[in-house]
Amino acid sequence: MEKIINYNICEGVDFSHIKIKKFKNASIAITFFVPLDKDLVSGFSVLISVLSDSCEKFKDFKSLNKYIEEMYGASLGYDIFKTGNYQGLELYISALDDNFTANHDKNIEKIADLLCELVFRPLIIENKFDKNIVSKRKNEIIELIDNQISDKRTWSMIRCNQIMFENQKCGIPKYGDKNSVQKIEEKNLFNFYEKLIKNSRIKISMLSNSDCQDIINKFKSYFSKINRNLDFNFEKINLIKPEKIKEVTEKMNVEQCKLVMSFRSPFVRPDTYDISLASAILGGTPTSKLFMNVREKMHLCYYCTSVFDAATGVLYISSGVEESNCEKAKNEILNQIKLMQEKKITDEEINQAKNFLVQNLNSVSDKINSLYEWYLGQYIFDLQESPEDYINKILKISKEDIVNCISKISLDTVYILTGGK
């Protein structure tokens, strides 16, 4: 089992060492959290991509990639995500852990050095990033946005989120929009860099069986030279109840209509165990109510699933339907929720959902990335709960607990994406 050791580097910068023996590879990641802002989100997206491309020491991706390959096949990447009201921007490097290198070479120290080079010594000349690199990475972010739009299942979820949280931070897309990306230039990108380094909340995570003290000291040394000015604290979502249910239909070139329904709830982490199990019973497993009834029995959709967002307290139900079946599918989804609220849940349904969740939670520790993401996902909630802890709480949930929580959800938004005339 993993052991977590936490350190504070400086104001707003935390370090976690996830010490575990089962993996041959190790990883170090630095994740910046900033409040979602429609005027900033695209700039930060471009910036984290640019930072993964080069630095003072390696002035182009070719030389950087060659060095990475020499570190026992290490891999470098970046990620952009959002959780609640915050945008997450991450650089990570994984490589063979020290115990498995030839002569026990200090590979972990090398990847920490490289991560520091990328973050603290980027390729900046006269307060400007390299024009060609910025242009290339802008195109990459635009391609990511286009890919979201092309995947209509993903896009319909994004649009439902935007409509539900109109004029709220958590409704802002994680990459921003293409027009804002196009406006980013090598000079104003430097302003984004300074803001990221000085004003963001930062989580550094090291997943390795090796000692971490030298790595901690390395980051302390770099951050000691930065005048940090943290200007926000993590806050829970403030749900604004709408005056009426929002119903929006949009048209695109789609063969299959997409129906997404979002439900508000009072549950956000850490109080999400009951609603997570309720969501699994409703539409989160191959034996769920939505799958067995709306899809299999009534043939009203091609897929029908539910997913709960623990950062916002929102339950999303996503389905692919024929346009002629949209209203029938919506009504039957609401009926299945009503049946749960009326205690029409069998012990078999509860046990199957519990087993499904337990299986998924047990698999978290099977991969280095999923284990890292598990603990990172708890950071803004000030939690440190192992998958085993979560399993124990899931197993204790009763039928009454499930009925109580599903009775507290309320329909907020109905979004339909159709190709109809």
Contact 97, 106 (CB under 8 A): no
Q: How far is CA 108 from the centre of its chain?
A: 25
Three-state DSSP at 278 gives helix
What would the CATH number be for the domain defined by 3-223? 3.30.830.10
pLDDT single digits (tens) 367-396: 999 999 999 999 999 999 999 999 999 999
For tokens 């182009």, what's the residue?
Answer: 60
Distance CA 10, CA 224 (A): 8
Residue 159 phi, psi dihedral angles, 5° rounding? -65, -40
Contacts of residue 153, Cβ cutoff 8 Å, sequence gap at least 6: 258, 318, 320
Where b means 16+ CB within 10 Å and e means fewer, 21-51 reads eebebbbbbbbbbbbbeeebbbbbbbbbbbb
3-state DSSP helix/strand/coil % of the chain, to nearest 5: 45, 25, 30
Query: What pLDDT shows up at residue 98?
Result: 80
pTM: 0.94
Q: Dihedral (C-alpha) 114, 119, 124, 127: value to the nearest 10 degrees? A: -160
What pLDDT, on the 0 to 100 scale, is given for residue 69? 87
**Angle, alpha carbons 255-258-261 (nearest 5°):** 175
Measured CA to CA in angstroms, residue 61 lies from 52, 56, 344 at distances of 8, 12, 58
What is the structure's pLDDT at 420? 61
CATH architecture, domain 246-418: 2-Layer Sandwich (3.30)
**pLDDT beneath 70: ranges in the chain:** 1, 420-421
| Domain residue spans of the chain | 3-223, 246-418
Strand pairing partners for 32? 89, 202
> Hey, how many other C-beta atoms are within 10 angstroms of the C-beta on 286?
9
The span from the CA of 108 to the CA of 214, in Å, is: 10
Please tell me the distance from the alpha carbon of residue 407 to that of residue 274, in angstroms, as a whole number.
Answer: 12
- Separation of alpha carbons 242 and 252, rounded Å: 27
Q: How far is CA 117 from CA 57, 79, 182, in A?
A: 7, 18, 27
